[in-house]
Homo-oligomer: A and B are copies of this chain.
């Protein structure tokens, strides 16, 4: 009945990508394929995913639940706040003296910071912020962010127009 499924599952040896995985949980090729499916359509039924990756509906459901619980992925609606029409948005490059990670944690705790990443280059941190209006933007950048201990300097890039936004790194 399902002889076609046996071949595709656990056929390949442990993927080399797993060993390169940093701290995160282990993800085999099947879980990657499931994520790929959900990157195309976050509401795709479990049965359809199962058919695509070679697993039963229940097995897909269990894997997805675990991936969500572990925080490996999240299934959400994404928009362009500028298009939705009531926010000011900017990317802020931050230079830090002392412990970068603690500064990153402090910025992550702020509601207005939607995206915080540690980087190599002329900035130590890149932070994307979403604000109500210009006043709010000004306050967040000049008062709140620069007030964090360890922040040496910042440089702002106010968003004019979002041109592309995808989440399909898996499908190439």
Could you list which residues of chain A lie within 8 angstroms of chain B, going by C-beta atoms?
Answer: 17-18, 20-24, 27, 32, 35, 38-43, 72-79, 81-87, 90-91, 93, 101, 104-105, 107-108, 111, 113-123, 126, 130, 155-167, 169, 172
How far apart sit A162 and B22, CA to CA, in the bound complex (Å)? 12
Q: Judging by beta carbons under 8 Å apart, are B42 and A85 in contact?
A: no
Select one of B27, B76, B91, B113 contacting A75, CB under 8 A.
Answer: B76
Q: Do B83 and A166 have beta carbons less than 8 Å apart?
A: no
Measured CB to CB, the nearest residue on chain B to A26 is B85
- Residues in B with CB closer than 8 Å to A91 are 91, 117, 119, 126
Out of B22, B107, B120, B167, name the residue touching A82 (CB < 8 Å): B22
A76/B76 in contact, CB under 8 A: yes
CB-CB < 8 A to A41: which residues of B? 75-76
Question: Is the pair B73, A77 in contact by a Cβ cutoff of 8 Å?
Answer: yes
